[in-house]
Amino acid sequence: MEELTFEGQMKSNGLFARTISVDHLNGLRDDIDALRKDGLFDPEFYDDNLPWFDFRVPDDLPNASTIVIVAKPKPMLSVTFRWNGRAIPLFVPPAYADGKDVEKEVLSALDRISQPNKYRFVPVKLPLKALAARSGLAQYGRNNIAYIPTFGSFHRLTAFFSDMPCKEDQWQDMGMLPGCDSCNACQISCPTGAIPADRMLLRGDRCLTWHNEKGSSVPFPQWVGAEAHNALVGCMRCQRVCPYNKNVMSWMEAREEFSEEEAARLLDASAAGAMSEDMAVKLRRVGLSAELFPRNLEVLLRVRE
């Protein structure tokens, strides 16, 4: 029987993977620098989100030759809040929960597949969507999100430097999903005008996600309307209407329920940041942090009153 490739072995573990050579680190940096030089980033947004990228081989793995990029399919989560005698289901988009578990799962698969204990894998501080697109693992949607076959945008990306030899350097031009040429569903559905008609790069400063991932003491800007809010964190509008997500949109895992008393505690601004450990654990299980409360929950419950 023919031996499975690295990619094939990862796939048989439910993971989608590609490899590129570390020789492309500068190319990856240049992609972003070019957009910055063209003035396409809001300066506050840039400073808040992008300066932490590190386009060098890590000091603790100086002989790294490969970057492995991996996507793990993940569902949306539904979280039920008991409020005013009703059970209210609210949502957390894919990719927020289980970050550490995904990293562990990927590392253990990599170790098994590449010969146990032979090579090292060190997490990258790099732009993951760009890595996925440049390796051919994903294609960009018009909404600037990375899509993989079958699972669309329902996945979590991770990447590692490794001293494993780069048997196949899959660096290539970035691709956009072919259907996006004749579709602007995401652009029309974006509640805050973050998806421009004339360019692929998102207006991060306009994206609801940037605002609702901030600590709760930061209020939403005036221009964010009450009807814009639709998830406990992040936003599902551009992914929900996307034809490429048609088959995964109903992939939802019900996880965690909060009683009236717990919901009241989350809505109590004076308790924010001082949640009990059991509540923090419950929140973490669904990819949420106490710092997002009460702001994000308040706006969602208010529209249901």
Judge contact between 205 and 44, C-beta under 8 A: yes
Encoded one letter per residue, x for contact with ligand B12 by CB under 6 A and - for no contact, window 172-211 reads --xxx-----------------------xxx-x--x-xx-
Task: Give me the least distance between CB of 19 and ligand B12, in Å please.
Answer: 18
Q: Find all residues with CB under 8 Å of 39, minimum gap 6, and list them.
A: none
Binding residue for ligand B12, selected from 9, 21, 49, 78, defined by CB under 6 A: 49
**Rounded to an integer, what distance in angstroms lies between the CA atom of residue 301 and that of residue 260?**
12
Pair 170, 263: CB distance under 8 Å? no
Give whichever of 109 and 235 is closer to ligand B12, judged by the CB atom: 235
CB-nearer residue toward ligand B12: 95 or 265: 95
By the rule CB under 6 A, 157 interacts with ligand B12: yes
Collapsing DSSP to helix, strand or coil, 300 comes out as helix
Q: In angstroms, what is the minimal distance from the CB of 142 to ligand B12? A: 9
Does residue 234 bind ligand B12 (CB under 6 A)? yes
Measured from the CB atom, is 13 or 209 closer to ligand B12?
A: 209
How far does Cα 146 stand from its chain's mean position? 9
130/199 Cα distance (integer angstroms): 16
- Cβ proximity to ligand B12, 6 vs 140, nearer residue: 140
Q: Is residue 168 a contact residue for ligand B12 (CB under 6 A)?
A: no
Collect all residues with Cβ–Cβ distance below 8 Å to 181 and sequence separation of at least 6. none
Answer for the pair 200, 144: CB distance below 8 angstroms, yes or no: yes
Footprint of ligand B12 on 102-131 (CB under 6 A):
127-130
Comparing CA positions, the residue from 202, 223, 174 lying closest to residue 41 is: 202
Positions 57 through 96 that interact with ligand B12 (CB under 6 A):
93, 95
Supply the angle between the helices 260-267 and 277-285 in degrees, to the nearest 10. 100
Site for ligand B12 in 241-270 (CB under 6 A): none
Give the residue, chosen from 50, 218, 226, 303, that forms a contact with ligand B12 under the rule CB under 6 A. 50
Residue from 79, 146, 242, 266 in contact with ligand B12 (CB under 6 A): 146
In the complex with ligand B12, the residue whose CB is nearer, 198 or 277, is 198
Work out which of 6, 81, 140, 220 binds ligand B12, going by CB under 6 A.
Answer: 140
Cα dihedral 242, 244, 246, 252, rounded to 10, equals -90
- Residues in CB range of 122: below 8 A, 6 or more apart: 58, 60, 61, 64, 160, 161, 162
Q: Which of 145, 241, 290, 292 binds ligand B12 (CB under 6 A)?
A: 145
List residues binding ligand B12 (CB under 6 A).
31-32, 35, 49-50, 93, 95, 127-130, 140, 143-146, 153, 155-157, 174-176, 200-202, 204, 207, 209-210, 213, 234-235, 238
